[in-house]
């Protein structure tokens, strides 16, 4: 029997603002407001229709209150689940649960940051890890470097294969006029860039940009009847979330993430498997991430992710298009990137992705990662035909 949450809700609108470098003087709330206005227009709805609000932030301790106040939204359902960059994929699942249970009708999921304009420092909630801070890891690149080094040790993954992830992202970004980084990039460029935390150079790390994204989620029935500016409803076929640790020393195996659980849950709900997915948006804060997620989400075997990418399978024209907007490595990365995986997946399924369009894409997988490979959230989206 089909899961009652399968295709019960849809993304009815998407919006972005301030991608790259925001207009001077913008606050995160200004960008959130602009992205929200775009997404609601896309859906054919207004702020007065929104009765459920989802956000997460490194700027505001109680972000739903700031965002609700700014937008004039008085939600009856409010959720600020903060799983780092994975938050917004989890919000989709939580919104579906709220809508299906009758606690809400129209959900706004929104995020914004002016991290680049603020000087590029990673905003993060003050938190101490007493067992780790004595060794002053540079959060979070050191933690990801430790995962990459272990993957190289166990499976023979190479720095060139890691670099191929950044090159594939750039090749996609070069097809996207809105991408922040569009200069040509080669494997040698990545390898010869400044080493931050071996084996990761600065080009193995995501961008630091401004930006905001917004999604409007409502029931599948209501979404089908909307007449917005956008290209139609995209259905949430399945979702799953999982987290196992917070600090890297507590991650049981640095080569296996909780995406094994989140992905299995999402596939089970959607009634599809990796072979059914046409386009993948995998949170690429660092080049090791898509390699781990390709493996943990079943697109290749454990340890095969490096060659998989280096063979060009995830690049433009490849069998498994990954991060078609350019990803966090080339499109944008305003502190948390998760919401942009959903926006790009929606655009691909609507067929409105321009030069980077994956022809005939019907099913997309968006995957978010939070903190230090800590939180994993997976959302599988489909067109009306796939729903």
Partner 1 sequence: MTLTPQQHAAAAREAGHVAYQHCERCGARTAYLRVVCPVCGSTDLTFHHSAGRGVVYSTTTLHSREGARDVSLVDLDEGVRVMGTVVGVDPDAVRIGAAVQGRLDDGGDEPRVVFTLEADG
Sole binder of partner 1 in the list 93, 173, 199, 382 (CB under 8 A): 199
Specify the residue, 76 or 138, whose C-beta has the smaller distance to partner 1. Answer: 138
Q: Does 105 bind partner 1 (CB under 8 A)?
A: no
Count of residues near partner 1 by CB under 8 A: 27
Out of 31, 38, 147, 164, the only residue in the binding site for partner 1 (CB under 8 A) is: 147
Instruction: Tell me which residue of 352, 340, 346, 348 sits closest to 321, measured CA to CA.
Output: 348
The answer for residues whose C-beta is within 8 angstroms of residue 26's C-beta and 6 or more apart is: 18, 114, 117, 210
What gap in Å lies between CA 27 and CA 22, rounded to an integer? 9
| Chosen residue from 146, 233, 288, 353 binding partner 1 by CB under 8 A | 146
Q: Which one of 47-55, 143-151, 174-182, 371-379 is the stretch in contact with partner 1 (CB under 8 A)?
A: 143-151
- Asked whether position 149 contacts partner 1 by CB under 8 A, the answer is yes
- Is 153 among the residues that bind partner 1 (CB under 8 A)? yes
Residue 189 within binding range of partner 1, rule CB under 8 A: no
- Whole-number Å distance between alpha carbons of 60 and 79: 14
Cα–Cα distance between 38 and 43 in angstroms, integer?
A: 9
Question: Closest separation between CB of residue 142 and partner 1, Å?
Answer: 5
352 contacts partner 1 (rule: CB under 8 A): no
User: Are 43 and 230 spatial neighbours (Cβ–Cβ below 8 Å)?
Assistant: yes
Binding of residue 249 to partner 1 (CB under 8 A): yes
Looking up tokens 């089908």, which residue turns up? 224
376/283 Cα distance (integer angstroms) = 10
270 binds partner 1 (CB under 8 A): no
Contact 301, 256 (CB under 8 A): no
The answer to whether 363 and 272 have CB atoms below 8 angstroms apart is yes
- Nearer to partner 1 by Cβ, of 149 and 256: the residue is 149
Tokens 């409803």, residue?
233
Measured CA to CA, the distance from residue 347 to residue 354 in angstroms comes to 9
Q: How far is the CB of 244 from partner 1 (least distance, A)?
A: 10
Binds partner 1 (CB under 8 A): choice among 43, 181, 196, 237: 196
Degrees, nearest 5: CA angle 125-131-133: 50
User: Is-contact 99 109, C-beta < 8 A?
Assistant: no
Q: How far is the CB of 369 from partner 1 (least distance, A)?
A: 18
Residues 288-317 within binding reach of partner 1 (CB under 8 A): none
Contact 348, 324 (CB under 8 A): yes
Q: Which is nearer to partner 1, 100 or 191 (CB)?
A: 191
Token output for 277 = 């997915």
The one segment of 108-116, 181-189, 195-203, 264-272 that binds partner 1 by CB under 8 A: 195-203
Binding to partner 1 (CB under 8 A) within 327-346 occurs at none
Q: How far apart are CA 32 and CA 112, in angstroms?
A: 5
Residues of span 113-142 touching partner 1 by CB under 8 A: 130-132, 134-138, 142
8 Å CB contact between 368 and 297: no
Please name the helix (run of DSSP H) or strand (run of DSSP E) that holds residue 113, with its range, or none: strand 106-113
Near partner 1 by CB under 8 A: residue from 96, 248, 291, 342: 248
Instruction: Decide if residue 208 touches partner 1 (CB under 8 A).
Output: no
Q: Is the dihedral of CA 162, 165, 167, 170 positive or negative?
A: negative
Q: Near partner 1 by CB under 8 A, which window of 83-91, 115-123, 198-206, 218-226?
A: 198-206
Token pair in block for residue 23: 């207009």
Report in angstroms how near the CB of residue 86 gets to partner 1 at its nearest: 21
Give me the least distance between CB of 285 and partner 1, in Å please: 16
192 binds partner 1 (CB under 8 A): no
Q: Which residues bind partner 1 (CB under 8 A)?
A: 130-132, 134-138, 142, 145-147, 149-150, 153, 194-200, 247-250, 254
């Amino acid at each position: 029997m089909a899961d009652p949450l399968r295709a019960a809700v849809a993304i009815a609108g998407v919006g972005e603002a301030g991608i790259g470098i925001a207009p001077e003087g913008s606050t995160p709330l200004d960008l959130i407001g602009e992205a929200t206005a775009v997404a609601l227009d896309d859906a054919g709805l207004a702020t007065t229709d929104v009765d459920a609000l989802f956000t997460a932030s490194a700027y505001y301790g109680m972000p739903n209150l700031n965002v609700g106040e700014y937008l004039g939204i008085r939600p009856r359902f409010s959720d600020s689940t903060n799983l780092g960059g994975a938050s917004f994929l989890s919000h989709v699942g939580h919104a579906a649960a709220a809508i299906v249970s009758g606690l809400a009708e129209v959900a706004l999921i929104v995020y914004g940051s002016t991290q680049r304009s603020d000087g590029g420092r990673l905003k993060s909630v003050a938190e101490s890890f007493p067992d780790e801070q004595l060794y002053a890891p540079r959060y979070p690149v050191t933690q990801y470097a430790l995962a990459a080094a272990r993957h190289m040790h166990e499976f023979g993954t190479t720095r060139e294969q890691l670099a191929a992830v950044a090159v594939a992202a750039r090749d996609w970004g070069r097809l996207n006029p809105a991408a922040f980084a569009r200069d040509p990039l080669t494997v040698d460029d990545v390898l010869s860039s400044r080493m931050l935390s071996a084996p990761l150079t600065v080009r193995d790390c995501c961008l630091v940009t401004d930006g905001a994204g917004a999604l409007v989620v409502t029931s599948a029935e209501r979404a089908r009847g909307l007449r917005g500016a956008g290209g139609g409803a995209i259905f949430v076929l399945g979702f799953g979330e999982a987290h196992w640790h917070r600090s890297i020393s507590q991650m049981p195996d640095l080569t296996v993430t909780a995406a094994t659980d989140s992905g299995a849950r999402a596939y089970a709900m959607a009634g599809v498997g990796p072979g059914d997915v046409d386009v993948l948006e995998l949170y690429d804060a660092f080049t090791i991430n898509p390699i781990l997620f390709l493996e943990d989400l079943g697109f290749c075997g454990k340890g095969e992710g490096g060659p998989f990418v280096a063979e060009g399978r995830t690049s433009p024209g490849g069998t498994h298009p990954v991060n078609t907007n350019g990803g966090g490595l080339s499109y944008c990365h305003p502190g948390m990137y998760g919401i942009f995986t959903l926006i790009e997946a929606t655009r691909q399924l609507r067929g409105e992705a321009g030069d980077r369009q994956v022809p005939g894409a019907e099913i997309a997988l968006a995957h978010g990662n939070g903190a230090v490979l800590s939180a994993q959230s997976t959302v599988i989206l489909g067109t009306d035909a796939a729903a």
